[in-house]
């Protein structure tokens, strides 16, 4: 039976919240025509990120931070690929904590975002192109959340969280590629609650991103949120964010 991968045929796929041990994830994804790198979480059945590519990476790095705190969290995976023109692409699959106000979960979320603020410019110094992809669990602006007024005090739309994204797309120097291509419109959303009528009413959140260094962002030509036609046909509470870049194919 044809799958989304069969029809979309992307060069790269990044996955978040895989929730499977590496050996299981690799067995399930074997035979897809992709080389898969999986980074599972120490906590079984939690988190987990992966990168699938049509070529082998030249280097892989797991975890985020020099203190080892997030090394086994299954939330940050860096993979380097050589593009056809010889340039180096660092592709990251990231899964930021969902958080919960006034709990240790929110403290971990801020600690993770702190580490991202440090790591992003480091990556930009060592690669020709950097692309951070994944479920970042923050709506940056009111355009990114349908019911933003009702969620102003909830994790995912807190002023402190949004401030980090002001930095990512400001002084840190990365570009919100999806927003640049979509323009000043509501959404396009990438996540809808499985409860109630959120999907049918398009009451969504834009929490999945592709954050790129400027030169790579300029090569982006098309963004699509591959939303299912109906609630019954969806296979996740997220929809794939697909962006086309006019760059030489990976070697």
Q: What's the pLDDT tens digit per position in 229-242?
A: 999 999 899 999 99
Is there a catalytic annotation at residue 81? Answer: no
| Residues 206 and 145 sit within 8 Å (Cβ to Cβ) | yes
Residue list for the binding site? 17, 135, 137, 237-238
Count, residues in the chain:
251
Q: Is 135 a catalytic residue?
A: yes
Question: With contact defined as beta carbons under 8 Å apart, do 130 and 212 qualify?
Answer: yes
Q: Does 140 fall in a domain?
A: yes
Residue from 108, 135, 144, 208 carrying the catalytic annotation: 135
Residue 226 lies in a domain: yes
In a domain, 80, yes or no: no
Q: Model confidence over 79-91: pLDDT tens digits? A: 999 999 999 999 9
Residue 31 has a pLDDT of 80
- Number of structural domains found in the chain: 1
Q: Is residue 122 part of a domain?
A: yes
Within a domain: residue 183?
yes
Task: Determine, yes or no, domain membership for 193.
Answer: yes
Residue 230 belongs to domain with CATH number: 3.60.10.10
**Measured in Å, how far apart are the chain's first and last C-alpha atoms?**
29
pTM for the model stands at 0.96
Which member of 34, 95, 189, 245 is catalytic?
A: 95
| Residue 95 bears catalytic tag | yes
> Does 207 reside within a domain?
yes
Q: Could you tell me if residue 167 is inside a domain?
A: yes
């Amino acid at each position: 039976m044809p799958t989304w991968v069969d029809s979309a045929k992307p060069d790269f796929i990044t996955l978040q919240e895989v929730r499977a041990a590496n050996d299981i994830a690799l067995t399930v994804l074997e035979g897809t025509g992709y080389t898969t790198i999986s980074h599972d979480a120490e906590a079984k059945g939690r988190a987990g990120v992966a990168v699938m590519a049509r070529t082998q990476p030249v280097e892989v790095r797991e975890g985020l931070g020099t203190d080892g705190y997030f090394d086994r969290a299954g939330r940050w995976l860096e993979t380097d690929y050589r593009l056809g023109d010889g340039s180096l692409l660092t592709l990251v699959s990231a899964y930021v904590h969902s958080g919960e106000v006034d709990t240790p979960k929110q403290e971990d979320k801020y600690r993770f975002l702190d580490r991202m603020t440090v790591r992003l410019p480091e990556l930009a110094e060592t690669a020709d192109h950097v692309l951070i992809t994944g479920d970042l669990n923050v709506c940056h602006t009111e355009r990114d959340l349908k019911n933003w007024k009702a969620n102003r005090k909830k994790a995912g739309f807190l002023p402190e969280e949004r401030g980090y994204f002001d930095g990512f797309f400001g002084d840190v120097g990365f570009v919100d590629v999806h927003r640049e291509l979509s323009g000043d419109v509501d959404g396009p959303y990438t996540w809808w609650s499985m409860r109630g009528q959120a999907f049918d009413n398009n009451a969504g959140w834009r929490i999945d991103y592709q954050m790129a260094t400027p030169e790579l962002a300029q090569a982006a030509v098309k963004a699509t949120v591959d939303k299912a036609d109906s609630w019954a046909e969806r296979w996740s509470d997220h929809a794939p964010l697909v962006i086309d870049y006019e760059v030489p194919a990976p070697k």
